[in-house]
Amino acid sequence: MQDAITSILNKYDLAGQYLDTIAINEIGHYFSSVSDRIRIIEIINSESKKIIQEAAAQLYAEQEELLRPGGNSYTTRRYSACLRDIEYYLRYATYALIANSTNILNERLLDGLKDTYNSLGVPIGPTVRSMQILQDIIIEKAGKEENIKKIINEPFSHMINILSEKNI
């Protein structure tokens, strides 16, 4: 996994260049947001169980058919798998938040996830909705300032966009 700084340094190293103003500004931007990123992650870490429970409760209140016979969360095993997956999305989002990079999401979570879910018959719509709910809950807990929302939106929007892509 590469964080924002490593990505910048590698790019310039591969080109055999010294850091220019653009690179220095990018690094400066990352460091200016670090305290906000750490605060958001502290909130997520301290309240992760509540966040996951709240996201699941909201998802199932909106899409009750998931819990009915034939629904994808019907049976304890499937329900537990859904909660496990919600926890995965939240955990990997925190990794991307601190790194200021969505690369880890692609490498460790998203590559092949859509194909796996499709092959298992797991509906993508509720998965995407659970990510949106997680995003909303964290924004509510961390604060609605634009810089906070932007930091939180980055990993969740990336996951949502990748899973929501449709072939035309």
Q: Which residues are annotated as a binding site for (2R,3E)-phycocyanobilin?
A: 72, 77, 82
Query: Which residues are part of a known binding site?
Result: 72, 77, 82
Beta carbons of 72 and 126 less than 8 angstroms apart: yes
Q: Is the alpha carbon torsion for 7, 13, 16, 19 positive or negative? A: positive
Beta carbons of 7 and 101 less than 8 angstroms apart: yes
Report d(CA 114, CA 118) in Å as an integer. 6
CA dihedral 143, 81, 92, 13 (to 10 degrees): -160
